[in-house]
């Protein structure tokens, strides 16, 4: 494996909104920054982002492409590669597929991946009728015939909340999960129809029209909010001891977004708190400002 002895002020892992914003800030401080990204991150799959200040509507792919152009304008080095491991020594060693890089600080912003059911035609309707983030896309279901689907209690909570906010025409599809009695009562009081079964296909031509189940049934709907959980892109941090939440899932950070390992910052979906593009961007800015202050040593 080739080792680069050049020492970067900061290595940013992941070109989502958090990583890009951090790289922009650090580049504007004239810091030596390497941004490593493997591509096809979660944000790039967003068909439309409409809750980002100053942007009336933009796709996730457009947002990330614009961000990559911005970081290059400020001298940030961009490498398309996969980070496989991060080691802590005096600074940090970041290993990619066949190279290694040295950095004084690291910002981990590699995001997460949604757990999705295997559905025919999912690609056709993802972000265009089929959604996974209520904070991002819930408003798009307003007034539609909505189906909430999932495999945990979170699906029931989501259905109850979405009926309050977006539509009265709502049903719940549960896969491999039985509601506890108290939630059965709450769902019944809200007149939410409950179905069980395995979804296998999305149906529709010009728009989403329904979901086909494995047993042949069809549930009509115009929009879907799915909640099957998600997993972090954090395998490259496996060798580091980091404080995590009570579920040993998300990484805990302080107000500056620095983790329990000094010098390693975490922004976006990998850390505790809400996961939104605009929130991640703010976290990236905060992390970059804090790192720059430490580099100044004033």
* pLDDT tens track for 205-216: 999 999 999 999
At 198, which CATH number? Answer: 3.50.50.60
Domain check: are 169 and 270 in the same one? no
| Residues 140 and 72 both lie in one domain | no
Residue where a domain terminates, one of 172, 201, 227: 227
**Secondary structure class of 88 (helix, strand, coil):** strand
Residues 28 and 91 occupy one common structural domain:
yes
Structural domain boundaries, residue 6: 2-113+230-296
Q: Please list the residues that pair with 244 across neighbouring strands.
A: 251
Is the domain of 207 the same as that of 281? no
Q: Are residues 12 and 51 in the same domain?
A: yes
The label of the residue with tokens 């796709």 reads 59
Q: Which secondary-structure segment (H or E) carries 37?
A: strand 33-37
pLDDT of residue 1: 54
Long-range own/partner contacts, residues 203-212 (CB < 8 A, 24 or more apart): 203/121, 204/121, 204/125, 204/129, 207/128, 207/129, 208/125, 208/128, 208/129, 208/130, 211/119, 211/147, 211/149, 211/173
The number of domains in the chain is 2
The reported pLDDT for the residue numbered 156 is 98
Domain end (from 203, 227, 251) = 227
Could you say which of 200, 227, 254 is where a domain stops?
Answer: 227
The answer to whether 71 touches 78, Cβ cutoff 8 Å, is yes
Q: Which of 158, 139, 135 is CA-nearest to residue 276?
A: 135
CB distance 209 to 218 below 8 Å: no
Q: Looking at the structure, tell me whether residues 102 and 137 fall in a common domain.
A: no
Whether 124 and 149 share a structural domain: yes
**In this structure, are 18 and 153 located in the same domain?**
no
Output the pLDDT for position 270: 98
- 79 and 17, same domain (yes or no): yes
Same domain, 155 and 80: no
Asked if 25 and 90 sit in the same domain, the reply is yes
So what's the pLDDT on residue 298? 73
Q: Which residues of the chain have pLDDT under 50?
A: none
Give backbone dihedrals phi and psi of 188, rounded to 5 degrees, phi first. -65, -45
From residue 101, give the alpha-carbon distance in Å to each of 33, 48, 108.
Answer: 11, 35, 15
């Amino acid at each position: 494996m080739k080792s680069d002895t050049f020492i970067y002020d900061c290595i940013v892992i992941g070109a989502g909104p958090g990583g890009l914003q951090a790289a922009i800030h650090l580049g504007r401080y004239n810091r030596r920054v390497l941004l490593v990204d493997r591509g096809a991150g979660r944000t790039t799959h967003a068909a439309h982002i409409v809750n980002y200040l100053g942007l009336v509507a933009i796709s996730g792919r457009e947002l990330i492409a614009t961000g990559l152009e911005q970081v290059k304008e400020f001298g940030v080095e961009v490498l398309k590669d996969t980070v496989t491991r991060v080691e802590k020594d005096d600074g940090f060693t970041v290993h990619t597929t066949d190279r290694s890089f040295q950095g004084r600080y690291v910002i981990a912003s590699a995001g997460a991946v949604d757990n999705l059911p295997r559905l025919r035609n999912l690609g056709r309707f993802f972000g265009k009728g089929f959604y996974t983030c209520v904070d991002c896309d819930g408003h798009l279901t307003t007034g539609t015939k909505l189906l909430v689907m999932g495999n945990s209690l979170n699906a029931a909570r989501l259905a109850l909340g979405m009926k309050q906010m977006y539509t009265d025409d709502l049903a719940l599809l549960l896969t491999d999960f039985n509601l506890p009695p108290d939630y059965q009562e709450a769902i019944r009081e809200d007149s939410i129809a409950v179905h069980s079964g395995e979804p296998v296909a999305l149906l529709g031509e010009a728009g989403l029209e329904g979901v086909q189940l494995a047993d042949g049934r069809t549930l009509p709907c115009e929009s879907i909010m799915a909640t099957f959980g998600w997993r972090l892109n954090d395998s490259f941090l496996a060798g580091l001891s980091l404080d995590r939440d009570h579920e040993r899932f998300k990484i805990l950070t302080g107000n500056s977004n620095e983790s329990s390992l000094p010098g390693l910052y975490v922004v976006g979906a990998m850390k505790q708190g809400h996961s939104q593009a605009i929130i991640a961007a703010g976290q990236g800015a905060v992390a970059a400002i804090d790192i720059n202050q430490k580099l100044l040593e004033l």
